[in-house]
Structure 1
Amino acid sequence: MAGTALTGTSVAGLMAELAALEDPRAREVNEKHGDDHGVNLSKLRAVAKRLKTQQELALELWDTGDTAARLLALLICRPKAFGRDELDGMLRAARTPKVHDWLVNYVVKKNPNAEELRLAWFADPDPVVASAGWALTSERVVKQPEGLDIPGLLDVIEAEMKGAPDRLQWAMNTCLAHIGIAHAGQRDRAVSIGERLEVLKDYPTSPGCTSPFAPSWIAEMVRRQHEN
């Protein structure tokens, strides 16, 4: 992934600006979640808003390998400009959770190669790559379920989620919850799987927030749907 920064905006200058925004306390919190940056994300978004869309600059920021710079790159890039192989390489290089999450949600989901990448990543032997395939599958479960084998997805979740590595397990659990929320005909089975596997049952949840434990998550979102 290579490019040339636009005249008047240097990568070096932006790296210095990001370094100045570093907050040791934010880094300490982020590192507990596997991320290695200490830039407040609201301040990062303010920088991106000032820069607007600059694809070539985004390419150079990504190539630095710095997490904060890559997050900024994902905010100012042009999602549809990337090729399939380019996105595949970027995902495999995105090892920190926040970069991985933003790449999938802000870029890949808006790219015309999203479905092809979903299919390729879904069964990838690398669990972090596979988690991206599951995240894209959750998107389809909610927005474009036609053609998906929902019972088949539940079969895989039932068989593999309990023993899956953390990030893959989280993505599979999210898909399980979305199936239960969006597909009433599969809701009882989704809840049953969640109750039996007990994945994330004891996950600490702040007051007022919805638990990621699938049965609780499904129940709360269905309740809200009925209220509306």
Structure 2
Amino acid sequence: MFLKLYFGKTHFRGFEAISKRENNIQKVGFYNMDLKQIMIELEKMGTPTIKKIFVNHGAKEPLFGVKVGDLKKIQKKIKKNNEISLELYKTGNADAMYLAGLVADEKQIQKKDLQFWVKNAASPMISECTVAWVAAESKYGWELAREWIESEKESVSSSGWSTFSSLLSIVPNHQIESKEISKLLKRVESKIHKSQNRVKYCMNGFVIAVGGFYPELGEEALQTAKKIGKVEVMMGKTACKVPEATEYILKMRKMGKIGNKKKMARC
């Protein structure tokens, strides 16, 4: 798997533009469609090939296997619709849940909704992308990130670390508490190799995020990366690799990308 935060890629290398298929999707007014109609369209868009890729990356049934690029076609029609977003997430369908994150209104979504989302995220695709992105863009981002990393549930804790990473990518540096981030780096250094599988992956991503998005602690992040070294994470039935934090931070420096913020966490 491949971190998306840094070079405009998707969070997981398989989740978008896997294989091009000819599919002339009928132009319909998605913004006028109800949940049932959207689910019908999602089912039409799904393919066995993409479904298999998602399952190999940890997704669970039910799902249709819809490419992220196709989900974004629906997103462009729906735009932000918090009511539809919440309905989509509650279906438990992985494709619908990802779409829910794309169309969620970060200004309207409530903390209780995000708590429901994190508790019911059934795969890394949802817990580390969908939930973390929307949480970071909402007014509850810092609060929930702090809470979630304390959870003993792997998916919840990984959501917390991913939320911190997303916050660093979009929040102006003067609004970030450097002491808090420094403490989190020290926590990663001491606990990463003893943590749960996906939590290790997201902690590693957090170190990269600090090094890439928060210049004030860039050197500290690099030293943390060197100390933790290679992080072993079981990646399931995929050929994806865990990015080495030291290598990524240095690569971002070479490319002149340090401190470049994103407009939004979602992509």
Name structure 1 gaps, 5 residues minimum. 1-5
Q: Map Cα deviations across residues 123-161 of structure 1 (whole Å, 9 max, x no partner).
A: 122122111221222345554432433442232112211
For 2:52, the equivalent position in structure 1 comes to 28
Name structure 2 gaps, 5 residues minimum. 1-29, 261-267
Q: Map Cα deviations across residues 41-70 of structure 1 (whole Å, 9 max, x no partner).
A: 111110121222222222222221111112
* 8 Å CA contact 1:194, 1:213 repeated in 2: no
- Name whichever of 129-138 and 214-223 sits farther off: 129-138
**Structure-2 change in CA distance of 1:226 and 1:120 (3 Å):** closer
Give the alignment's TM-score, normalised by structure 1. 0.82
* 8 Å CA contact 1:58, 1:77 repeated in 2: yes
Give the alignment's TM-score, normalised by structure 2. 0.71
Trace 1:72-91 onto structure 2 (pairs within 5 A). Answer: 72-91=99-118
Correspondence for 2:71 among 21, 44, 50: 44
2:191 counterpart of 1:160: yes
2:227 counterpart of 1:193: yes
Separation of aligned partners in 2, 1:184 and 1:7: 43
One-letter amino acid of the structure 2 residue matched with residue 90 of structure 1: W
* 8 Å CA contact 2:75, 2:99 repeated in 1: yes
Q: CA deviation at 1:169?
A: 0.6
* 8 Å CA contact 2:124, 2:155 repeated in 1: no
One-letter amino acid of the structure 1 residue matched with residue 137 of structure 2: K
> Which structure shows the bigger proportion of residues in helix conformation?
1
Q: Map Cα deviations across residues 83-127 of structure 1 (whole Å, 9 max, x no partner).
A: 21221121111121222212211x111111112111211212212
One-letter amino acid of the structure 2 residue matched with residue 13 of structure 1: Q
**Structure-2 change in CA distance of 1:215 and 1:88 (3 Å):** same
For 1:103, the equivalent position in structure 2 comes to 131
* 8 Å CA contact 1:67, 1:99 repeated in 2: yes
Larger Rg: 1
* 8 Å CA contact 2:136, 2:163 repeated in 1: yes
* 8 Å CA contact 2:75, 2:103 repeated in 1: yes
Aligned to 2:80, what secondary structure does the other structure show?
coil
Aligned to 1:80, what secondary structure does the other structure show?
coil
**Structure-2 change in CA distance of 1:150 and 1:51 (3 Å):** closer
**Structure-2 change in CA distance of 1:141 and 1:148 (3 Å):** farther
One-letter amino acid of the structure 2 residue matched with residue 194 of structure 1: I
